[in-house]
Structure 1
Amino acid sequence: MTDEIIARKSGHVGRITLNRPKALNALSMAMVTGMIEALQAWQNDDSVKAVVVDGEGEKGFCAGGDIRMLHDSGKAGGEEAWRFWHDEYQLNTLIKRYPKPYVALIDGITMGGGVGISVHGSHRVAGDRTMLAMPETGIGFFPDVGGTYFLPRLAGEIGMWMGLTGARLKAADAVAAGIATHYTPSDDLPALISALESADLSDDDALEVLLEEHSGDPGSSDLALTRGLIDAAFAGDDVSEMVSRIEAAGDPWSVKQAKIIATKSPTALKLTCAAIRSGADKSFEDVMRQELRVSTHCLDGVDFYEGVRAVIIDKDNAPNWSPSALAEVDDADIAKYFEPLAADKELTFLGE
């Protein structure tokens, strides 16, 4: 198993620590494979009563996936990008289906792939350093890893707002949105881990009791102030109309949102909106199948490569989107992203 994750058993707990702190624990293929192996090994191990996942270092739980590899693979026409997404989505589904408590300690930067290995678990514990976001529209992509399943299931239009703008949520916001199930002060997380490792978790209530004992007050959330604006602005399924409502509102929050959206890929904005609305009434498995189709078809476009160039490679943060305006993005072109893949490229699930 790779040294990019540390998987071990301690007491009644299966522990996974993401171990790429210099890369903010961004997921590599080896990490995805290692997590799958550990989770499958513990799934039927009666000595493991719960799984606890955290990230090495103080800055990041998991800042996403290996974007540069995805870019380079797509450019070269290789299969590494498809394989990464295929296996990552298998991991997301394994976590969603997991028969035991899965506790993700999302203290630090939690973006993209990091959300995918936390939000689908049974317990998500935010800390003081939590900064959670799905920022994919800024690189010409869409919120995958089950993003188009959990985002439309958040209250009101919080999910659409997060998906389109890449909004960054701190601990209080993550709790208020229901993305985090608990909050524990960062300084108390080591004590929580120790308590979980030493506890008798054979009692069904033991885990909940420990999480409550180590929980605290994350403070007030900005969502209490902005929720009405979010729901009004991001209703419907027409991004252009959303932008028009935001621009017409004129309040400081709306002015800021308009500026943020103007920097995003128009194609990715329309694609994200369509995927979130489509995912609202689908099963998790059907959403994941759809996401692999959309992800793979993104390699046939131009904005994903341009976004990665601007943000990751050249870091000039000046992407040249094509098309450059929402009005120029053809709905028929968006529909093509959802078309099935070749039969041998469609998503399969572990154990099936």
Structure 2
Amino acid sequence: MTESEILFEERPTRDGGCLGIATLNAPGSLNALSLAMITALHAKLDAWAEDVSVHAVWLQGMGDKAFCAGGDVVALYRAMTTSPGDEGEAARAYFGAEYRLDHFLHHYPKPLVVWGDGVAMGGGLGLLVAADHRIVTDTSRLAMPEISIGLYPDVGASWFFQRMPRGVGLYLGVTGAQLNARDALELGLADRVIASEARQDVLKALENADYRHPQQAVREVLRGFENRALAPEAEVMPRLDHLQVLSDAADITQVVRRILDDPREDAWLAANRARLAAGCPATAHLVWRMLCRHRHGSLAETFRDELMLSVQCCRHTELAEGIRALLIDKDRTPQWAYTDVANVPASYIDGFFMPLWDAETHPLADL
């Protein structure tokens, strides 16, 4: 990581304290998270948590296109393809650090505001969902699009998908459907909608806030800028009945078949069908399996299971092939191990869930 890939600033507040501001500064990759960025962010947020002069923390992305488009999967691809045998260690280091950061943010002891402007997908959505004050704007686009690269919705998705209406998380996971600000509010992924161009005004108001009661101070500032009229028309809830019908089946093969055979003429549904049809068949099985495994699980249990599964994904062929087709060669013609969801053997999926550590030696055992 170069020093400029993540920026830290402490802006003084009127009472002599300060507001900690962290900026993901890799706009060329839509602020994708590298391991070094994750490590630096965690260290600084930890220091701010202990610093009594820091009243609140603000996390944002550089530019107006994206808060964060996800993890730096290109770096993972290099590890998988140039260091055979070492890909598991690279994956353990990267995903272990990412999930530890996400878990930390879910339990952050000070007001934490995430400005989810523009693209917030994959690992970026994981950061947004974890905050106290989750802001989306009129330009926000959210998704867990891992079906397109042969991974699966991670960063706690098997936990936060469970908190949506029945069947919705499953549908989002297998289609990579894109959501807007209204969807984010209605599905519990965000708390407020504020105009994209109001960013600096919000920050100035936070600098001038009365921090005798920090959470209340931040809440009052954000409430003053909230404008839900800016949110586009929802995509999910107007279609809730239909999505629940599509997702209502005994196994993932039937769910996928119902989605792909859906004749409804609807641009949003059609885009989701196309993404699923082109996506990794194994991923659909991983989504189903993880949602079954974590129906009643804790957030920490989800992150521990995700670390195991993510390392296994790096040891299998699908993730490297998906990244190659989408981001390296950009031919968009991945050669998946199986042609469709119905042909993926249960034994193949079982291999992704082979334990790598016991309870005592798990890298995230202390969460």
Instruction: Tell me what 2:110 maps to.
Output: 100
Work out whether residues 176 and 272 of structure 2, in 8 Å CA contact, stay in contact via their aligned partners in 1. Answer: no
Map 1:126-141 → 2, pairs under 5 A: 126-141=136-151
Kindly, what percent of the aligned residue pairs are identical? 33
What SS is found at the alignment partner of 1:194? Answer: helix
Instruction: Give 2:348's match in structure 1, choosing from 326, 330, 333.
Output: 333
* AA in 2 matched with 1:135: P
Map 1:241-256 → 2, pairs under 5 A: 241-253=254-266, 256=271
CA RMSD of aligned residues (A): 1.9
Between the aligned partners of 1:280 and 1:3, the Cα distance in structure 2 is 40
Which has the higher mean CA deviation after the structures are superposed, 189-198 or 5-14? Answer: 5-14
Work out whether residues 6 and 17 of structure 1, in 8 Å CA contact, stay in contact via their aligned partners in 2. Answer: yes
Runs of 5+ unmatched residues, structure 2 = none
Instruction: Tell me what 2:286 maps to.
Output: 271
Work out whether residues 48 and 54 of structure 2, in 8 Å CA contact, stay in contact via their aligned partners in 1. Answer: yes
What SS is found at the alignment partner of 2:114? Answer: strand
Instruction: Give 1:226's match in structure 2, choosing from 215, 236, 239.
Output: 239
Distance 1:119-1:349 versus aligned 2 partners, 3 A rule: farther
Distance 1:72-1:219 versus aligned 2 partners, 3 A rule: closer
What SS is found at the alignment partner of 2:325? Answer: helix
After TM superposition, the score normalised by the length of structure 1 is 0.94
Instruction: Tell me what 1:314 maps to.
Output: 329
Instruction: Tell me what 2:10 maps to.
Output: 9
Instruction: Tell me what 1:172 maps to.
Output: 182
Instruction: Tell me what 2:157 maps to.
Output: 147
Work out whether residues 182 and 215 of structure 1, in 8 Å CA contact, stay in contact via their aligned partners in 2. Answer: yes
What SS is found at the alignment partner of 1:143? Answer: coil
Whether 1:211 and 2:226 are equivalent positions in the alignment is no
Work out whether residues 6 and 24 of structure 2, in 8 Å CA contact, stay in contact via their aligned partners in 1. Answer: yes
Distance 1:176-1:342 versus aligned 2 partners, 3 A rule: closer
| 1:316-347 Cα distance to aligned partner (Å, 9 max, x none) | 11111111121221123212322221459733
Q: Shift of the alpha carbon at 1:65?
A: 1.0
| 1:176-198 Cα distance to aligned partner (Å, 9 max, x none) | 22211100011112111111122
After TM superposition, the score normalised by the length of structure 2 is 0.90
Whether 1:346 and 2:362 are equivalent positions in the alignment is yes
Work out whether residues 63 and 113 of structure 1, in 8 Å CA contact, stay in contact via their aligned partners in 2. Answer: yes
Distance 1:246-1:23 versus aligned 2 partners, 3 A rule: closer
Between the aligned partners of 2:203 and 2:271, the Cα distance in structure 1 is 39
Distance 1:315-1:249 versus aligned 2 partners, 3 A rule: closer
What SS is found at the alignment partner of 1:347? Answer: coil
Distance 1:247-1:87 versus aligned 2 partners, 3 A rule: closer
Between the aligned partners of 2:167 and 2:110, the Cα distance in structure 1 is 31
Q: Shift of the alpha carbon at 1:107?
A: 0.2
Runs of 5+ unmatched residues, structure 1 = none
| Number of residues of Structure 1 aligned to a counterpart in Structure 2 | 351
Instruction: Tell me what 2:248 maps to.
Output: 235
Between the aligned partners of 2:142 and 2:271, the Cα distance in structure 1 is 19
Q: Shift of the alpha carbon at 1:170?
A: 1.5
What SS is found at the alignment partner of 2:177? Answer: coil
Between the aligned partners of 1:270 and 1:198, the Cα distance in structure 2 is 50
Q: Shift of the alpha carbon at 1:240?
A: 1.4
What SS is found at the alignment partner of 1:118? Answer: helix
Q: Shift of the alpha carbon at 1:256?
A: 4.7
Instruction: Give 1:40's match in structure 2, choosing from 46, 54, 61.
Output: 46
Q: Shift of the alpha carbon at 1:248?
A: 4.8
Between the aligned partners of 1:237 and 1:341, the Cα distance in structure 2 is 29
